[in-house]
Amino acid sequence: MPCDHSFSGCEKEGLYKAIFSRRDVRAHFLSKEIPTEVLARILNAAHHAPSVGFSQPWNFILIKAKEIRQQVKNSFIREREKSINMLEGDKTKQKMYMSLKLEGILESDINICVTYDPTRFGPFVLGRASIPETGVYSVCCAIQNLWLAARAEGVGIGWVSILANDDLQNILSLPSFVRPVAYLCLGYVNEFADKPDLETTGWLGRMRLEEVVCFEGWGIHKNESWEELLEAICKAY
C-alpha cells in the first residue's frame, strides 16, 4: 500500500481557506505594525517557493521610509492618469475606474518590492534555456507563497501594478539587469471581503471553472473520457 501523504482534514481546510479568502487589499489598512517574527515567517514562506533550476532568482526589498513610498505613490498617480485617459471613449468605465481605490502605498505598514535577478548562479540555469520566462514565473511563485502566508497570519496584501518599472528602478536604485516584478503593500486590515473588490463593484465577474478548463486540446470543453471530472468541475463554482 502506498503511503498517504495528504494533509489532515484541518490542514486542508486551512490551506483552502487561505486560497479562497486571499484578497488584493487596497483599503482598510489599520495603523498596526506587523511583528518582526510574523514578517520573518511570511518572507521565509516566500523564499521556499519553487524555482526553475533551483535558481531562487528573487529579492525582497522592504520599504518603511515615507519619503521613498511617496515617490512610488507619485509614480502611481502619473500612471493612473494615463489609464484614465485611455478610457476616454468609455465614460461609464472611466467613471468606475476613477472611483476605485487601487493602492495602499502610504496607508499600509510596509511595502515590499519583489524583484527578478536573471544573473543569479551564472548565465546557465537548468530548465530556463528553452523558456526564459520561467525565471519570472519562479518569482511569481514566491509572491503567491508570500500572499498566502500573509493571509494565514491575518495580514492583508495589495499588489500595485499601476506603476512604471523605470520609476521603481530609479527610486530603489536597482541594477539595470534586475527587474521589478511586484510592488506589494502589507498591513493588518479590518476585514477580508467575501469577494474581490473588482467583482463586487461589477468591473468584471469571475469566470466559471468549466469555461477555462480544456480537455486534450485548446477550446475542447467536453470529452467523454473526462465526463466525471467535468461534472465535478461544473459543481465547483
Strands 155-159 and 110-116: unpaired
Distance CA 88, CA 81 (A): 11
**Range with the lowest mean pLDDT among 2-6, 146-150, 162-166, 201-205?**
2-6
Q: What is the dihedral of CA 201, 203, 209, 211, to 10 degrees?
A: 150
Predicted confidence (pLDDT) per residue in 136-152, tens digit: 999 999 999 999 999 99
The pLDDT value given to residue 1: 60
Answer positive or negative: Cα dihedral of 138, 144, 145, 150: positive
Does the pLDDT of residue 111 top 90, yes or no? Answer: yes
Distance CA 152, CA 184 (A): 17
Please give the single-letter amino acid code of residue 46. A
- Confidence (pLDDT) at 28: 82
The pTM of this model reads 0.94
Position 236 scores a pLDDT of 80
What residue spans define the domains of the chain? 15-205, 207-237
User: CATH 3.40.109.10: does it fit domain 15-205?
Assistant: yes
| CA-based torsion, 96, 98, 101, 105: positive or negative | positive
Instruction: For residue 25, give the 3-state DSSP assignment.
Output: coil
Tens of pLDDT, residues 163-195: 999 999 999 999 999 999 999 999 999 999 899
pLDDT grade for 3, boundaries at 50, 70 and 90? confident
